């Protein structure tokens, strides 16, 4: 196991470095999409915990063109990290396959045409209910040129939660999307969220076996936090509800990580947001400190991802 001894989980940063031989940085791109649970086709207001502005950099928003975003993103990375950096083109904001396939083709190709030398991957964040076969074919057609990864929101495996947070799709939709991606030349990354106050520890832990059975290669594990501008922010202000404290989050990870497949590459164990958007919990405002705490907590407990995979 590549992570044994040094990290309790199979961490993304070292994995990227080993695969590409250099630090790899994401150029975040906003393709001007919306989400079906925002525009009225499946609902209004989006997922109750979401405010896209809280996690997508301003450099990737409200710019006139995709190529300008790519150029600006690449310049910033080169300025900060010097030459030799490699890049991932990351369609991040909203649902990046929620448009007719010809429009998607135009957007992705504009990004690829503007990609700086050293671009190794195209990553596209989306929802399970917006991945029709022709869109999967389109994404797969780029796998001739570079690695292509689809990032899919699992969020919760419990339909009652999906309903309550206004996701606008079911867990069955998630499973169907994973199966549609199986065997394709596409990497699959999942995004799962834990700490909904109405989900029990057992209900949260069950998710490991669902994830293990998908063809996913990557996983982001996020704690629930409340951000300004979300529907949940108003709910929280009206009636505050319990959120996991840092210690409780580390304890959850100590139980969850061993249940995961050892070969899953973990992209995140702490969700971060721009500080001005964070309402609660307070510890989420210091993701680096939280990460240090979690790593030493898990090392002390001898936690190893995959040691009790379910
Ligand atoms: S979490 Fe994703 S699907 Fe939900 S509203 Fe935000 S961007 Fe859209």
Ligand 1 mean position, distance from CA 7 (Å): 31
Ligand 1 mean position, distance from CA 65 (Å): 22
Q: Is residue 18 one of the residues assigned to a domain?
A: yes
The residue whose CA is least distant from atom 7 of ligand 1 is 94
Kindly list the protein residues whose Cβ atom lies closer than 6 A to any atom of ligand 1: 35, 37-38, 46-47, 50, 52, 94-95, 127, 153
CA-derived radius of gyration, the chain: 19
Q: Is residue 7 one of the residues assigned to a domain?
A: no
pLDDT of 62 reads 61
- Which ligand 1 atom minimizes the distance to the CA of 127? 3
Judged on CB neighbours under 10 Å (0-12, 13-18, 19+), 84 is exposed
pLDDT tens track for 106-133: 999 999 999 999 999 999 999 999 999 9
Q: DSSP for 137-186, please give it.
A: HHHHHGGGTSEEEEEEEEE-S-HHHHHHTT--S-HHHHHHHHHHHTTSS-
Coil vs helix vs strand at 11: strand
pLDDT tens track for 268-304: 999 988 889 999 999 999 999 999 999 999 999 999 9
Domain count, the chain: 1
pLDDT of 136 reads 98
Q: Is residue 6 one of the residues assigned to a domain?
A: no
Domain of residue 92, CATH code: 3.20.20.70
Query: Alpha helices of the chain — where are they, by DSSP H?
Result: 12-20, 66-81, 101-114, 133-141, 159-164, 171-181, 201-205, 207-213, 231-238, 246-256, 287-301
pLDDT of 162 reads 98
Q: Is residue 206 one of the residues assigned to a domain?
A: yes
Q: Is residue 72 one of the residues assigned to a domain?
A: yes
Q: Provide the residue range defining the domain that includes 167.
A: 12-301
Which stretches of the chain drop beneath a pLDDT of 70? 1-5, 55-62
CA angle 263, 267, 268 (to 5 degrees): 125
Ligand 1 mean position, distance from CA 170 (Å): 14
pLDDT of 108 reads 98
Q: Is residue 307 one of the residues assigned to a domain?
A: no
Per 3-state DSSP, the chain is made up of helix, strand and coil in percentages (nearest 5) of 45, 20, 40
């Amino acid at each position: 196991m590549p992570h044994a001894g040094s990290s309790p989980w199979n961490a993304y940063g070292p994995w990227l470095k080993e695969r590409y031989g250099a630090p790899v940085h994401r150029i975040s791109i906003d393709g001007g999409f919306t989400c079906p649970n925002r525009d009225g086709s499946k609902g209004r207001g989006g997922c109750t915990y979401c405010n896209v502005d809280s996690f997508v950099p301003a450099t990737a928003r409200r710019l006139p063109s995709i190529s300008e975003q790519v150029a600006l993103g690449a310049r910033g990375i080169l300025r900060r990290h010097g030459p030799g950096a490699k890049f991932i083109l990351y369609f991040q904001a909203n649902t990046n396959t929620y448009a007719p396939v010809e429009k998607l083709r135009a957007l992705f190709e504009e990004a690829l045409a503007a990609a700086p030398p050293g671009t190794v991957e195209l990553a596209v964040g989306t929802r399970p209910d917006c991945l029709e076969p022709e869109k999967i074919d389109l994404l797969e057609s780029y796998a001739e040129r570079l690695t292509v990864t689809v990032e899919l929101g699992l969020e919760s495996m419990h339909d009652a939660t999906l309903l309550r947070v206004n996701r606008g799709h079911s867990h069955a939709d998630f499973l169907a999307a994973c199966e549609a991606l199986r065997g394709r030349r596409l990497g699959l990354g999942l995004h799962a969220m834990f700490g909904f106050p109405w989900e029990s520890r057992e209900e949260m832990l069950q998710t490991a076996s669902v994830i293990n059975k998908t063809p996913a290669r990557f996983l982001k594990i996020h704690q629930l936090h409340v951000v300004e501008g979300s529907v949940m922010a108003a709910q929280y202000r009206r009636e505050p509800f319990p959120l996991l404290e840092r210690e409780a989050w580390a304890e959850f990870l100590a139980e969850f990580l061993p249940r995961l497949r050892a070969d899953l590459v973990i992209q995140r164990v702490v969700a971060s947001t721009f500080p001005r958007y964070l309402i609660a919990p307070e510890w989420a405002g210091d993701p680096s400190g939280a990460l240090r705490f979690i790593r030493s907590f898990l090392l002390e407990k001898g936690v190893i991802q995959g040691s009790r995979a379910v």
